[in-house]
Chains A and B, each alone.
Chain A
Amino acid sequence: MSAASVSPAATRARLAAIRVQLRPATAASLLVVAFLAVAVIAPSVLTSGSPTTIDLQHTLLSPSFSHVFGTDDAGRDLYTRAVYGARESLGIGLGATGLAMAIAILLGFAAGLARGIVDAVLTRILEVAFAFPVLLLALLLIAIRGPSVATEIVAVGIGSAPGYARMVRGQVLHVRQAGYIESAVALGHGRWVVIRQHLFPNAIRPLVAVMTLGVGQSIVWASGLAFLGLGVAPPSPEWGALLDAGRDSITTSPWLEIMPGLVIVLVALAVTSLGRTLQHRLEGAAR
């Protein structure tokens, strides 16, 4: 009996199913994320060098086999610096997204649950927030508080919160109408029990995927601020700081911009692609 279920044909079919599900894009994205995880946890595994070793005899070398990303004006290996910068960059991305989500869940649930005048006022406030592009809102905040890592996280977090808030509100309104909420209410469960046990988890679930997309997005925005010289300052190996450091030599040593930029692009693409896949899976699971 049990032999039938593990017959070679069945196994092959199951493997084929897995292989179909693991599209090349997803596999590549997983690879990038795995690489990123190692860079964050144990950067020394990926590179033998140090991000701060100055080598004045090998300054501004273009990418080669010994220095795959090239070297900067102090002869530091750019690849090593990018690997060591991953921790701070990812931290900024996660911090900003986390802050944005916290604000969004607060506002979104307040608007979606309260309905009526509270909802109307909050929706208007969000509409006003949309008139401020994320980058400009961030710049305004930096002008007020001065550039720092904390300001950068808060700026990107607040800037991207309205978009998520609108999404959360929509989710809450959508889930409110679900049959299981009606049943729970009909069964006599209290308001807060229904909210805590049914509404909250179901409204939050799709946000997991959105949050994944958001981390990539936040890293890109934060690096944009750094590119303008308003984020983490050099000589930190944070990716935005690498961009800032290379900005004055775009025409003579373009790899100082292109390579860190490529790292950011790859991470953003990988995270976005995984977020999308996750979104489809979760939607499929909900159905």
Chain B
Amino acid sequence: MTTAAEAADPAVPIPALSRAPSARSGVRAVRWGLVKLALAILVLVAAASVTFFAQLLVPGDRATTILNQQTGRAQLWSAADLAPVNHQFGFDRPLAVQYVDYVSGLFRGDLGTSYTQHKPVTEVIGAQIVPSLVLTVAALVTAWVLSLVVILVTVKRRRFVTAIGSTWEALTASLPPYWIGVVLLVVFAVELRVFPVIGGTGVAGTVLPVLTLALPLAGFLGQVTRDEFEKVLDQPFITTARTRGMSDTGVRLKHALRHSVLPAVTLSGWALGSLLSGAVIAENVFGRPGIGQVLVVAVNTRDVPTVSGIVLVVAGVYVIANLLVDLAYVLIDSRLRAS
């Protein structure tokens, strides 16, 4: 859920320009890449540690919980009953062994075993992650397009137009996704019948969920970019370009845009992780298949390994997205230096 509060939040990591290496030195670039990769793996291992210990926090004996869930009863079981469960889930091994097994499983594509479905978590999440990723990436692209159009059209125009642009951003950035989803569903699917109510994963059914996620993010990215865009338009090199006879549209597209998207690029890695968790809500509103359904069922049945697995997958997406963002940042940055 993206809201205006986060726009003012320096918590979202923004790497300093100076941290990016000079592209001239290939060796340094490779070393920088390896360090980044090592840090990313470290974050994942730490995340897996958190979810491992989270599973230990489940109140009571885990084998008892699993048996009770399986049988729908609430009772104490004899050691003979518990032994096979303990063995199946590996609870009978020393904690350190369980820990190493869980964390290393991350690199073997093994996220543990579901308490309720008794099959590997990877299988439970399995194909469900695909529609969620499609939704997430589509929402990110849509949010970028929306925010850039609003920026190009409304920054430093007549006061009235500028006010509409910034109000639109402030408004959309604070809207909770479930509310946008419900409003879109009621207006476009129930009243106007433009889109199906239960969309499935087809193109027509994907439009409204994508907008649900994209609108608040577009507002947020727009707020971040607007500040930069305004500053850039006051820069001397913009005046120079204008005196060379470049049109206003040309100045905005060729110069101002490229210089002002950097903060939003940096935030996109974080946004992808946040969108993926927002997808849980959007999928719920539109009854769309995806990890959202799996996650809500898992939380309701206290299937902690499955919840942990999904959390780790999202953390993984976040880490990979941020690696890509770092890369994009260097590319845009070195191009800026060259020009």
Q: Which residues of A contact B (CB under 8 A)?
A: 124-125, 127-128, 130-137, 139-146, 162-167, 170, 210, 213-214, 216-217, 220-221, 223-224, 227-230, 243, 250-251, 254, 257-258, 261-262, 264-265, 268-269, 272, 275-276, 279
**Interface contact A139-B284, CB-CB below 8 Å:** no
Assess whether B162 is interfacial by the CB under 8 Å rule: no
**Interface contact B281-A227, CB-CB below 8 Å:** yes
Assess whether B98 is interfacial by the CB under 8 Å rule: no
Q: How far apart sit A170 and B14, CA to CA, in the bound complex (Å)?
A: 13
Which of B84-92, B226-234, B309-317 interfaces with chain A?
A: B309-317
Q: How far apart sit A254 and B57, CA to CA, in the bound complex (Å)?
A: 39
Q: List 15 A-B contacts (CB under 8 A).
A: A124-B42, A127-B13, A131-B47, A131-B318, A132-B315, A133-B273, A136-B277, A139-B299, A143-B302, A143-B304, A213-B4, A227-B284, A228-B281, A265-B174, A265-B179
Task: Enumerate chain A residues within 8 angstroms of B63, measured Cβ to Cβ.
Answer: none
Cβ distance B206 to chain A, nearest Cβ, rounded Å:
18
Q: How far apart sit A109 and B227, CA to CA, in the bound complex (Å)?
A: 30
The interface residues of chain B, by DSSP majority, are classed as helix
**Interface contact B43-A127, CB-CB below 8 Å:** yes
Assess whether B256 is interfacial by the CB under 8 Å rule: no
Task: Enumerate chain B residues within 8 angstroms of A127, measured Cβ to Cβ.
Answer: 13, 43
Task: Enumerate chain A residues within 8 angstroms of B311, measured Cβ to Cβ.
Answer: 132, 136-137, 139-140
Q: How far apart sit A155 and B176, CA to CA, in the bound complex (Å)?
A: 18
Q: Apart from A132-B315, A223-B178, list 16 A-B contacts with CB within 8 A.
A: A130-B318, A132-B314, A135-B281, A139-B280, A145-B57, A165-B11, A167-B9, A216-B3, A217-B6, A224-B178, A261-B176, A262-B179, A264-B176, A265-B179, A269-B170, A272-B174
Assess whether B169 is interfacial by the CB under 8 Å rule: no
By beta carbon, the residue of chain B nearest A226 is: B178
> Which of A125, A139, A229 neighbours the largest number of chain B CB atoms within 10 Å of its CB?
A139
Q: How far apart sit A279 and B319, CA to CA, in the bound complex (Å)?
A: 32
A140: contacting residue among B174, B182, B308, CB under 8 A:
B308
Task: Enumerate chain B residues within 8 angstroms of A265, measured Cβ to Cβ.
Answer: 174-176, 179
**Interface contact B296-A228, CB-CB below 8 Å:** yes
**Interface contact B318-A220, CB-CB below 8 Å:** no
B280: contacting residue among A141, A220, A228, A261, CB under 8 A:
A228
Which residues in chain B, 274-294, are within 8 Å of chain A measured between CB atoms? 274, 276-278, 280-281, 284-285
Task: Enumerate chain B residues within 8 angstroms of A128, measured Cβ to Cβ.
Answer: 43, 46-47, 50
By beta carbon, the residue of chain A nearest B47 is: A131
A224-B1, A243-B178, A254-B190 in contact; A142/B299 too (CB < 8 A)? yes
**Interface contact B197-A251, CB-CB below 8 Å:** yes
A279: contacting residue among B8, B54, B59, B174, CB under 8 A:
B8
Task: Enumerate chain B residues within 8 angstroms of A165, measured Cβ to Cβ.
Answer: 11
**Interface contact A135-B278, CB-CB below 8 Å:** yes
Task: Enumerate chain A residues within 8 angstroms of B4, measured Cβ to Cβ.
Answer: 213, 272, 276
Q: Contact string, B196-240, partner A, CB cutoff 8 A, digits 1/0?
A: 010000000000000000000000000000000000000000000
**Interface contact A143-B307, CB-CB below 8 Å:** yes
Q: How far apart sit A210 and B197, CA to CA, in the bound complex (Å)?
A: 39
Q: How far apart sit A258 and B186, CA to CA, in the bound complex (Å)?
A: 9
Assess whether B51 is interfacial by the CB under 8 Å rule: yes
Cβ distance B288 to chain A, nearest Cβ, rounded Å:
14
**Interface contact A217-B3, CB-CB below 8 Å:** yes
Q: How far apart sit A134 and B176, CA to CA, in the bound complex (Å)?
A: 14
Task: Enumerate chain B residues within 8 angstroms of A125, measured Cβ to Cβ.
Answer: 46
Q: How far apart sit A224 and B54, CA to CA, in the bound complex (Å)?
A: 22
Task: Enumerate chain B residues within 8 angstroms of A228, measured Cβ to Cβ.
Answer: 280-281, 284, 296, 299
Q: How far apart sit A141 and B304, CA to CA, in the bound complex (Å)?
A: 9
